Amino acid sequence: MAATNGTPDSNGYLASDLINMALRQIGIGAMGTTASDADISDGVMHLNMMLAQWQRRRWMVPNLTDLFCISTGKSQYLVGPGQDFDIDVRTDKIEAAYARLLVNGATASVVGEFSGGDFSPDFQIGSNGLDSGGQPIDYPLQIIQSYEDYAAIGLKGLRTWPSYAFYNPSYPYGQLMPWPIPQAGIWELHIIVKQPLQASVAPSNVLNLPPEYWDAIMWSLAARMAPSYGQEASPTVTAMARASLNTIRVSNVQIPKLSMPAALNQSTPFYWPGLETRKL
């Protein structure tokens, strides 16, 4: 069931419907005329370029997703289509990361994330301390924010309990480098990334996005395409595009708890060579 004649189905509008509406806001195809195939083709290119830009903005992506893989003892894990962390579009950054210790017979996740099947109900404290009853135990990984900081680690081949992770957004596949390197088989590495928006959209494709995106796509496309027709976007188009994007920002924003860098946290006993480095 597809959206037709400007009426959305349960998933959204056709890309061509929103492109036609955007063109009418700048006078193309208005007053009973119809936009040409070339106009629609240009609109599709603008739409795909705009969605690619939106993908890189945390507040423009409606959902984060949890990707995972089982540790194999490697120092690097690839992120991208068909790789260790399998995702359609290689992500530009990771929002968070954690390592899941598979203890006492715990098995790997089926779908990752925090699904109910991951956690058994027999959690208990035993006489010898924590007995997970087969439950996996998650430990957060602190994100190393730059390659320069990762390069400052003196013993990169250290193999023990993982505490940190660096993500190199190389292309076509990103590289996750946990540190210390986790032992094979008993760790499940998780990264939290932005869920990919639709890519390579065709005119006949339904834009499967939350309803607040329809307005933002239409007005933003109008503002983007106006220079192609020798005009500046009108104040009305600009204002409507800004207002619709702000609605998405308010809807999607998530503010994590403020934390202090490890180098400034005097209560943190862990240290690696170079951690004391201060950059101006």
pLDDT digits (tens, 9 = 90+) for 182-207: 999 889 999 999 999 988 999 999 99
Phi and psi at residue 101, in whole multiples of 5°? -85, 120
Average pLDDT over residues 4-20: 75
What is the number of other CB atoms lying within 10 angstroms of the CB of residue 135?
21
How confident is the model at residue 1, as a pLDDT? 35
What is the number of other CB atoms lying within 10 angstroms of the CB of residue 215?
18
How confident is the model at residue 252, as a pLDDT? 83
Considering the entire predicted model, what is its pTM?
Answer: 0.76
Structure tokens at 247: 């609605």
pLDDT digits (tens, 9 = 90+) for 13-45: 899 999 999 999 998 876 667 788 899 999 999
**Counts of helices then strands in the chain (DSSP H, E):** 5, 10
How confident is the model at residue 122, as a pLDDT? 46
Of the candidate ranges 1-10, 123-132, 219-228, 230-239, the one whose mean pLDDT is the lowest: 123-132
Q: What is the DSSP string of 160-195?
A: SS--EEEEE--SSSEEEEEESBPPTTTEEEEEEEEP
Query: Do 35 and 20 contact (CB within 8 A), yes or no?
Result: yes
Residue 118's DSSP bridge partners are none
How confident is the model at residue 29, as a pLDDT? 73
Phi and psi at residue 206, in whole multiples of 5°? -85, 130
pLDDT digits (tens, 9 = 90+) for 42-99: 999 999 999 999 999 999 999 999 999 999 999 999 999 999 999 988 899 999 999 9
Query: Do 66 and 112 contact (CB within 8 A), yes or no?
Result: yes
105 pLDDT above the threshold of 60: no
pLDDT digits (tens, 9 = 90+) for 222-259: 999 999 999 899 999 999 999 999 999 988 877 777 76
Q: Specify the long-range contacts of residues 149-157, CB closer than 8 Å, at least 24 apart.
A: 149/274, 150/177, 150/179, 152/272, 152/273, 152/274, 152/275, 152/277, 153/179, 153/272, 153/273, 153/274, 154/272, 154/273, 154/274, 155/272, 155/273, 156/75, 157/75, 157/181
Average pLDDT over residues 147-161: 92
For the ranges 75-79, 131-135, 272-276, the one whose mean pLDDT is highest: 75-79
β pairing state of 85-86 and 77-80: parallel
